[in-house]
Copies of this chain bind each other. A is one copy, B any other.
Amino acid sequence: MHAVLRQKLQIHSALDVDDIAALNKLPYQGRDLADGEDAICQGDRPNSSILVIEGMVGRYHSLADGHRQFISFHITGDLPDAQALFIAEMDHSIRAMGAAKIALIPHEAILALFVRRPAVGLAIWRETLLDAAIFRSTITNNSARPPLARAAHFFCEQYYRARARFGRRSGVGICYLPLSQAQLGDTLGMSIVTVNRTLQQLRRTGAMDWTEGSLQVKNWSKLATIGEFDPSYLHLRAPRRL
C-alpha cells in the first residue's frame, strides 16, 4: 500500500526522506471488492479516502430515472476520492469494475500529514488537479465529438494512462479494461446499439480491438488520429519543482 502511493506521488512530485517516512506511517485498512461492489455511495459521508491497489474502480452518478452515468475510471495508485477530502457529502458513487483491491486511509491521517509534511499535501493536491483536467477533457469528448472519435479518444486515454502507470508490463499494446458495452454506453453517452456498431467500425480500421475486458491497441497512431488524442491534458511530463 505505502509503496503504491509513494510511487504514484513520485511520478509528479519531489518528496524527501522525511516526506517518505511520514507517508510510510499512514494508517490504512485494506479491502477487497467484488465486481460491481460499491466502495462508496452517493450521499455517504465518508471519513476515509480510497487508494486503488489493484484492479479498476469507476465513479458514477445515479440519476433519478435509475440511469447511470460513469464519470471516470481509476487504476493502481489513483486516489479516486481525494475529491471528497473537503466535501461533506459524496455527490457520486465509486464501484469496482471487475474484482479490485483498495486501501482506506482516514481523512484525519491525511490532513495531519499536510501540517507536518506540506510537500505531501501539495503532491496529493496535484493529483486532484490532474483528475480535474481529465474531467474537462471528458466534457469536451462527450459533448463535441461524434461516436467514432469519442470512443477512440476514450480508449486512447485509458491506454495511455495504463501505460504511464505500468509501462510495458501489461503486455505489448494490451490494457486491462473490464467494462461491458452497456457500461461503455453509460460512459460515453451513447446507446448500446450505437456502442456496438461504433466498436465494429473501430475494429474494421485495424487500429484496435476490445474483447473480454482487454483493450488491444494494434495501431496507436491511427487510433490517436481517429480520436484526435493529444495527451498533454494528462500532464504526465515532469512539472516544476516545488
Query: Which chain A residues have a beta carbon within 8 Å of chain B's beta carbons?
Result: 59, 61, 63-64, 67, 69, 71, 83, 85-89, 91-92, 111, 114-115, 118, 121-122, 125-126, 128-133, 135-140, 142-144, 186, 188-189, 228, 232-233, 235, 237, 239-240, 242
Contacts and interface: CB of A to CB of B under 8 A. Distances in A.
A92 B188 CA distance: 21
Given A63-B144, A71-B139, A140-B63, A232 B91 contact: yes
A71 B232 contact: no
A40 to B, nearest CB: 14
A140 B69 contact: yes
A59 B85 CA distance: 25
Nearest to A92: B136
Question: Would you call the interface of chain A mostly helix, strand, loop, or mixed?
Answer: helix
A239 B91 contact: no
A28 to B, nearest CB: 21
Nearest to A228: B64
A218 to B, nearest CB: 23
Contacts of A235: 87-89, 91
Given A71-B140, A140-B71, A189-B144, A88 B128 contact: no
A59 to B, nearest CB: 7
Contact of A61 (B115, B129, B130, B136): B136
Contact of A129 (B87, B118, B142): B87
Contacts of A122: 86, 114
A69 B118 contact: no
Contacts of A144: 61, 63, 67, 69, 186, 189
Given A86-B125, A86-B239, A139-B69, A131 B133 contact: no
A108 to B, nearest CB: 11
A87 B128 contact: no
Contacts of A242: 86, 111
Most buried by B among A64, A240, A242: A240
B232 A89 contact: yes
A64 B130 CA distance: 22
A87 B143 contact: no
Contacts of A237: 88
B128 A228 contact: no
Contacts of A131: 132
